[in-house]
Each structure stands twice: as C-alpha cells, then as structure tokens.
C-alpha cells in the first residue's frame, strides 16, 4: 500500500479500542499505532494479538494492511 504524507500522518496516531482475546477469552482495552505496532498485548494474559476490531477486511494473512485500509476509509 502506497501512502501519501497525509495518510501517513493520519495513521501515525494512537487508536483506542477493545479487543476480545482468544487466548484468555476476555476483553482487553488497547491503544494501537498502525505505523509503529504490529500487535496489541492483552492486559489479562500478556499474549500478542491483532486489533481486529479496527479492521473491515477479510484477509487476516495481510492484517496490517487491512487495518490501515479500514482506518483510512473510516477517517476520510
């Protein structure tokens, strides 16, 4: 994905949310910067997980790009 300077600035901020952890089956709050972070860390069990709640995509093999694309679409 090619990003313009404006898109990079938008994505270089923290997004907050809540994610369900499949490892401990509990919700965890997170802050996520898509330009700096690959995963979030569950505050309950410490496992690294993707912030799937930020993503509208269907391709979990390309999760990081799907999250960036979704965030750009939500914040036009």
The pLDDT of 15-25, averaged and rounded, is 96
The pLDDT of 56-75, averaged and rounded, is 84
- Measure the CA–CA gap between 2 and 7, rounded to whole angstroms: 9
pLDDT recorded at residue 3: 87
The pLDDT of 1-7, averaged and rounded, is 86
Name the more confident of 62 and 8: 8
For the entire predicted model, the pTM comes to 0.81
- Measure the CA–CA gap between 58 and 36, rounded to whole angstroms: 22
């Amino acid at each position: 994905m090619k990003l313009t300077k404006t898109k990079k600035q938008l994505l270089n901020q923290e997004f907050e949310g809540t994610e369900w952890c499949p490892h401990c089956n509990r919700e965890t709050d997170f802050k996520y910067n898509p330009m700096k972070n690959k995963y979030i860390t569950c505050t309950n069990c410490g496992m690294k997980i993707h912030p799937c709640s930020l993503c509208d995509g269907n391709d979990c093999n390309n999760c990081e790009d799907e999250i960036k694309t979704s965030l750009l679409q939500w914040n036009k």
